[in-house]
Structure 1
Amino acid sequence: MFKRILAIFSMLVLILSSFYGCTSIRTKRDEIGKTKTTISQKTEQISKHSNKNKGSNKPALDVVFERIYQATDKYEIDVLLPKVTGSEVKKEVCEKINFILKRYVEQEIEGIKAIANEQKNELDFYPYTLHLKCEWDKSVSPYISFLFEEDSYTGGAHDLIRVKTFNFDLETGREVKLNDVLSTEQLNWIGNYILFARALCKDLDDPPYEVFWGQEKQVTYDEYILNSSIFKNGGILVCYEPYVIGSFARGIVRFWFSFDELNRKEIEKSVDLKDLDTIEEWLDANLNKVRKEYGLPVKVYSYEGGLLYYTKSGLIFSFSFNSIDSLESINNAQVFSIMGSDTVKFFGIPLEISVSELVRKLKSISEIKKIDEGISEESGCYTVTCELDGNIKAYIESKGADKSSNVGYILIKREPYGYGQTN
């Protein structure tokens, strides 16, 4: 009986020892997993992001991100390496795209290591760092885009932020640039709008003012637009690194253009400033309304301290230089004045006529009162000034010094109350 009790007690001891032993081993592994990763203890964490078929084990298209983290006393590297996979894309296409993306990431990693291993400047501080994050988009068929935002520190006053973009054709694996997809005209519209925004916003560097001196000197899109853009949300996203057109504090400057507005063709060929209500509506408009109604600017110029926004319809809107404090407020920029070319109608009258004939026809309109006419000392052209209502004035200028010359343009703007009045 005593032997049986001793055997049972011995078995209980063995079981308890086994239980506590396993618990000790598991806890030790957990502690190892929480220690800081070094170059000899490289960890890789994978997170998946799919834009469709999330419930399927074999998605039609997926992008998997591999996290690479390496740390020594000289550098710390934390990057995301994307990898395209899925049944929708041919294997050889996936391999081609993934090779290019991997090569770029590996080059950035080796670059930071090489700099860290150079002789240290006494003003620099280790560890040098490389943080690389990536976003992707597949909203424009058949392309897929990757935007890398690199934040690195290799000494100096602050870190550096760089942008790298990749666009691929999912049918061939070929890298794609904007000029493969957009026409020169469409690229010009994008360039014009960015120049316009730079002149309008106080927190962006002013563009070279010679771009506003005349059509023959107008700068169109540049290589930066072609090399720093991705397909995003059914359109084009253009990204500028700090210091290119904005300060370091502003960060990455982004401009987005939808394919709907870039492909827009239904702009009216003839616009009618048919009455005072229409004119007041546009004098009260902001940039958002102008862009939505008339599209991107086909040209941008300076005029009398303002910035002219030429539309496809021939209507021209003027905005004040540096009228907006920040890029986020650009849509609220207020129209300063309206100009019309010979494709525009004024109170239903086409401007493809002489100044004298236009004035004769305007006499029958009660809302319009002629208050002055003569040769402009500034331009040498014949000019007629009309009052529409209160402080709204219209300036009609001919193409020559005679009022029998055809209309060159009409300028309508709201003047301060009391402007031009005498006792």
Structure 2
Amino acid sequence: MKKINTITICIFIFLLLSISGCSVLKTKNESVSKVNTSVKQKTDQGIMYSNKNKPTNKPTWDVVLERIYQNTEKYKIDVFIPKIIGNGLKQEVYEKINFVVKKYAEQQIEDIKKISAGTEGDSGLYPYTLYIKYEWDKSVEPYISFLFEEYSYTGGAHGLTQIEGFTFDLRTGDSIKLVNYLNNDQRKLIKNYINFARALCNDLEDPPYEVFNGQDNQKAFDEDLFEDIVFKNNGLLVCFEPYKIASYARGVVKFWFDLKELRNKEVNTEFDLSNYDTIKKLLSMNLSEIRKEFGLPVEIYSYEGGLLYKTKSGLLFSFDFNSVERLENMTKAYVNSFSSGDNIKLFGISLKGSLSDLDKKLENVKELKKVGEGINEEWGSYFVSYELGEDIELYIESKTSDKNSDVSYMLVKKKRL
């Protein structure tokens, strides 16, 4: 009896496990089936969304690179050449562009091979080297720019770095010079800022004083200022090879200018130094903030070891020569003082008119405290000086020694200066 019961129990357990196992297997199969259905549904939805938003038969084009790598006992060449592909441009257009840039690269390769084929001057110089890399930009329609940076070594203490910029019209394939893209005012804004940088930074060569008074020996620099210029990030990138405005160790020097900044024709004919906080803000600004708020300098001047940056609004900000060590830190240069002419208001009071009338109006400004007046011994003009807050001096000068003559300019500076 016990044996029968035991057999019965075993059969019962076997049946129970079989049923349970089938249930588990079925559950897994159903789970997989559900997942597959879900993925399929998501895929279909993605395709529908993509078809709805993606234009059909839209012409496309892109830039790919071709690499030429050759390594022998006498030379090592590693050159990257851009190539336009796709159906987004007329075939004759991109073929024309591709021909020009490839011809440039092939000419450099041919030159290095000719040099290396000659007699080696000193033992151990081979292999001569040529490396060319490039960057490109199509942010400004309908143009495309390529900037090549070439490094070659054919003996001597070090190799040479050269740059070459190309810009093409994507409608015709024609090569254009970006200096012709700029009007005279825009060229002047760029030149002013670059000369300002040269004077401001220790790691750029100090500009000769001719930069500020336009002598003939400055013409050579002005003529090739825009030699290597390309479009970049909706702006213009102006480049200088080593030795042009800096040492070899400095490498390629680049300046970028936003096209909106260059096209801005607004001139703030009247600027109001409305309160003490406005004046303190101006005295605490750095070059980056000045450029962002007031634009590129319309004029630059040298004066008593300092550098003056004139804005469209008529403010003249002063900075020290060689006030920063490296170009990368140029934007951190701080304002020493600022001056202005008669298109400026001070606490809402116009500087236009006589110094005596202005002095009477300023007596009602509680933030101001007169600390002196008289004849400027150096210039022979009448002046009035004030204390603004605790740490700022205000100096206003007339055009002549008569206090009733018109205001010439106003100078605002921190006391410690």
Aligned to 1:157: 157
CA contact (8 A) 1:375 1:381 kept: yes
* Alpha-carbon spacing, 1:295–1:220, altered in 2? closer, same or farther (3 Å): farther
**Distance in 1 separating the partners of 2:145 and 2:168:** 6
Aligned to 2:402: 402
SS of 1:195 mapped into structure 2: helix
Aligned to 2:77: 77
**Distance in 2 separating the partners of 1:383 and 1:90:** 69
Unaligned runs of 5+ in 1: 1-55
Number of residue pairs aligned between Structure 1 and Structure 2:
364
Residue type of the alignment partner of 2:385: T
Spell out the pairing of 1:15-26 with structure 2 (5 A cutoff): none
**Structure 1 runs, 4 residues or longer, greater than 3 Å off:** 56-59, 213-221
Spell out the pairing of 1:273-352 with structure 2 (5 A cutoff): 273-352=273-352
Deviation of 1:83 after TM superposition, in Å, equals 1.6
TM-score for the superposition, normalised by structure 1: 0.81
CA RMSD between the two structures? 2.4
* Alpha-carbon spacing, 1:290–1:153, altered in 2? closer, same or farther (3 Å): same
Unaligned runs of 5+ in 2: 1-55
Aligned to 2:411: 411
Deviation of 1:337 after TM superposition, in Å, equals 0.3
Deviation of 1:58 after TM superposition, in Å, equals 9.2
Deviation of 1:381 after TM superposition, in Å, equals 2.3
* Residues 137-184 of structure 1: per-residue CA shift (max 9 Å, x gap): 100000000000001101011111111000011111121222332211
Aligned to 2:49: none
Deviation of 1:373 after TM superposition, in Å, equals 2.0
* Residues 349-395 of structure 1: per-residue CA shift (max 9 Å, x gap): 11121112111211111221222222223223222222112231111
Aligned to 2:256: 256
Percentage identity across aligned positions?
Answer: 55
**Distance in 2 separating the partners of 1:216 and 1:371:** 46
Deviation of 1:189 after TM superposition, in Å, equals 0.7
Aligned to 2:128: 128
**Distance in 1 separating the partners of 2:312 and 2:215:** 16
Deviation of 1:114 after TM superposition, in Å, equals 1.6
Spell out the pairing of 1:345-364 with structure 2 (5 A cutoff): 345-364=345-364
Aligned to 1:65: 65
Q: Which moved more, 1:234-243 or 1:90-99?
A: 90-99
* Residues 175-223 of structure 1: per-residue CA shift (max 9 Å, x gap): 1222332211011111111111111111111112222247999979823
CA contact (8 A) 2:167 2:178 kept: no
* Residues 293-313 of structure 1: per-residue CA shift (max 9 Å, x gap): 111111111122211111111
**Distance in 1 separating the partners of 2:328 and 2:239:** 15
* Larger Rg over CA atoms: 2
**Distance in 2 separating the partners of 1:219 and 1:410:** 34
Deviation of 1:59 after TM superposition, in Å, equals 6.3
Spell out the pairing of 1:135-150 with structure 2 (5 A cutoff): 135-150=135-150
CA contact (8 A) 1:211 1:219 kept: no
**Distance in 2 separating the partners of 1:149 and 1:83:** 16
Aligned to 1:182: 182
**Residue 238 of structure 1 pairs with residue 238 of structure 2:** yes
Q: Which moved more, 1:344-353 or 1:130-139?
A: 344-353
Between Structure 1 and Structure 2, which shows a larger proportion of helix residues? 2
Aligned to 1:98: 98
Aligned to 1:166: 166
CA contact (8 A) 1:188 1:220 kept: no
Aligned to 1:199: 199
Aligned to 1:34: none
**Residue 117 of structure 1 pairs with residue 132 of structure 2:** no
Deviation of 1:107 after TM superposition, in Å, equals 1.2
CA contact (8 A) 1:124 1:155 kept: no
